Each structure stands twice: as structure tokens, then as C-alpha cells.
Amino acid sequence: MRDMARAILHADMDAFFAAVEQHDDPSLRGKPLVVGGEAPRGVVAAASYEARVYGIHSAMPMIRAQQRCPELVRLSPRMARYAEVSRQVFAIFRSYSPLVEGLSLDEAFIDCSASGRLHGSAEEIAKEIKRRVREELSLVVSIGVGPNKMVAKIASDLDKPDGLLVVCADEMLAFLHPLPARRLFGVGKVTERKLAALGIRTVGELAAYPRQTLLSRLGKRVGAHLHDLARGVDDRPVVPDAPPKSLGAEDTFTRDIDDDQELRQIVRRQAELVGERLRARELAAKVVVLKAKSGDHRVKTRRKRLQRPTSDGVVLARAAITLLPSARRALGGAALRLTGVTASELSAHETPKQLSFDEAQHAQGDALARTLDAIAGRFGAAALQRGVQSGDNLLRRRDGRASGGPGEENETCQGGEPRIVALDED
């Protein structure tokens, strides 16, 4: 490959959630598999390539996926495990450049512009990353290499699975211009229809279109943005990961739920999942937000500020559950079709050097939660589950996968699985 002044990699793990499940359970290899919530309201968060043969894809309603493939294996998401593997993947990425911008658990931009002396060309780095991911983690990653983020992302999208596509700066326009305009970032269905009305269907036609006319038809900001992209102009830097502003989990239920105890169980499970996600990122939250949606789609939210930042799902759950009565009253006591728990005002997780009695209890809860994460990562999310008996929290060993999994009775609720806000798309 010829040298690039700027060399950007877009690395995208192939069918990540499903691939982790097939790695951890070899009996699932070669089978059509999805990770996601229960039908009828659940959606596919990730689909193995065996499932994609049937036209199954991320964000598809689970009931439709099961109709397309009756022998489909559905697994509940194990976010703690995916986060653990993601950290291993990103450690490989960062061994070649400090400039790694994570887009999700399984996707990142890597700026290798200054890595040539140590690690070779961008193409050589991409090949080495692919080799290490395969040999060290038994997983597959597709990588696009280009002179900017846009080209690298399009390149990785076009060569999956297990792909490596390199686009040099002097080849960029020849690569971009034959592509449909919808390949550009910011061109959705509505914009695609607007461009088609102007006779624009390819990136090349968009690049050749008079700029001022385009701005007058699409608006100055959108028109200028798309015209620049069509000419290969994308100066966005690769920005090393900044902590997210919030993390959350929510369920859309298979039926509207009116029972307070059942709703509390669901909210508790959601809060504990949020705690897992916080600990996976080494973050703590100061504010808990509860979201409730009624059967007629009215939405109310309630917030509670904690005494100190925490990643302990028990503390988050207690706060969220106290907000439930107020949210339900605001909805007139209506049955709920959705609840969600979000943690906000996030900061790096730190334990104070001198702890008060209450702070020591919080710290012990955080430490216990991290120990449980380690057990769940090794043995599965259901190796330890929190039971409720007369208001006391008990830890109980149970075989099998997370509640609601195939061939298993759901012991927590009939509300389905926590929705994955960012789907495992590739």
C-alpha cells in the first residue's frame, strides 16, 4: 500500500454479540443465532451470519425473525461478558495507537497516521490487528483503511465479514463516486428521496451537482456537508474516548403491566444491568432517572440525586424503585408498556481515601458488584442472581442462562429482556 498523509482505520467486530456467544458455547457454532429480547415486542440486537442467510438483521422484531427461521436460537444479552471481551479488543487497538475512538462495544476508529515508524503502514497494522483478534480472542474483525473517517467506515462496511479494504487518497474519488448516495453519513431515506428528486442517485452525481443550487434545495448546513463528503472532504479528527453522558436500559413489555410488585422487579433488574454497564466502563453515577410509558404511549420521567456517585446496582435500584409510584401517579395509575432506568452525571469511579460508615457500606456494595461481574463474565450472567425474599436481597446460584432464555422459565417477570440501546450492527 502507498503511504498516506493521514491513515484512519475503521474496525468493526463481525456479529459481535453472537460471535461471543458462539465462542463461549461451541455447540452454537454453525447454528442460526440471535441475541435479543423475547417476542412479540423484543427486537434482534445481533444476528449470527448463519441467521442472516434468512434475512434476519439487527433491529428486526423478534417475532418476524422467528417466523423466518423456526429453528432460530434466541439468547438473552450478557452485557457484562460483551463488555469484558470489548475491553480485550480495544486493548489490542490501543497497542498500535493512542488515538482510538470507540463508537460502541464492537466498533472504533483508529488513527495510525503517526504509527508508521513503530508498526509499519496502516495496511500492515490492520493485518496485524486482524491476526491478533483471531488468534488471541478467536473472533473476527473487518477493517477499512482510508484517508479519513468517512472513507474508512464505508470501506469496512463494503467488505464483511472478515474483510480488509484499503482506499488510498489518490483512489478515493474513484472509490466513492460509483456508490449510491445513501452510503454517505447523513443520507437517510428522506434525504435520499430529496436527492433522487434532483436526479442525484450516486455519490459522483452529488459531487458534480452545482453547490449553490444544492444548498438552496437542501439548506446551507446539510447541503454543504453532503457536497463536501461527496468530494471526499472529511476533516473530523479521531477523538479518544470520552466518558458517555449517560447509560441506561429499558424494556418494552410483551403485555401492559399493572402489578406494582412485578414492575418493581423489572426496574430492579434494569438498574442492576445499568450498574454492570457502569462498572464495565469504570464509571459511577450521581443521578438516577426512571422512565415510564403507559399503554397509550404517554411518557413520564422522574429523577433522584444520590448522596455519592455509585456503580452499585442495588443502590441504583433502590433509588429507581422509589421513583416508580410518582411516575405511575403522573400517568393516572395506568398500566405500563415500558420502563427504563438511566444513570447520568457520570464520573470516573473512585473510592474515597477516608470513608464514613455510610460510604464504607456503598464501597462494599460496589466491590461486591465487581466480584459478581467477574463471576458472571466467567460462568455466564445467570451464575449468580439476586433473589427477593421478605424484602431482603439474597444471592442464589442457578444453572443455565439469563432468565427468559431458551427452554427456561422466566423467574423475574414476563416483561422481556432489557433493550440494548446501541444495537450490534455491522
What is the per-residue pLDDT across 352-375, written as a single tens digit (0 to 9) for each? 444 445 555 555 555 555 555 555
Three-state DSSP class for 125?
helix
Q: What is the distance between the alpha carbons of residues 221 and 218, in angstroms, rounded to a whole number?
A: 8
Amino acid 377: pLDDT: 53
The superfamily (CATH) of domain 179-230 is: 5' to 3' exonuclease, C-terminal subdomain (1.10.150.20)
Span 295-305, mean pLDDT? 95
Cα dihedral 405/410/414/415 (nearest 10):
-50
Amino acid 41: pLDDT: 74
Cβ atoms of 417 and 406 closer than 8 Å: no
Give the residue among 286, 288, 287, 313 at the shortest CA–CA distance from 368.
313
The superfamily (CATH) of domain 1-172 is: Reverse transcriptase/Diguanylate cyclase domain (3.30.70.270)
Whether this model's pTM surpasses 0.75: no
What is the per-residue pLDDT across 264-279, written as a single tens digit (0 to 9) for each? 999 999 999 999 989 9
Give the residue among 382, 366, 361, 264 at the shortest CA–CA distance from 313.
366
- Over 80: is that where the pLDDT of 422 sits? no
* Cα–Cα distances in angstroms (integers) from residue 332 to residues 96, 146, 340, in the given order: 56, 55, 18
Is the CA virtual torsion 212, 217, 221, 227 positive or negative?
Answer: negative
Query: How much is the mean pLDDT over the chain?
Result: 85
Catalytic residue among 50, 107, 250, 272: 107
**Domain 246-397 carries which CATH code?**
3.30.1490.100
Span 287-296, mean pLDDT? 96
- Over 90: is that where the pLDDT of 159 sits? yes
Higher pLDDT, 315 or 360: 315
Every domain of the chain and the residues it spans: 1-172, 179-230, 246-397
**Has 107 been annotated as catalytic?**
yes
Span 409-418, mean pLDDT? 33
pLDDT band at residue 252 under the 50/70/90 scheme: confident
Query: Averaging pLDDT over each range in 35-49, 300-314, 388-402, which range is the top one?
Result: 300-314
Amino acid 362: pLDDT: 52
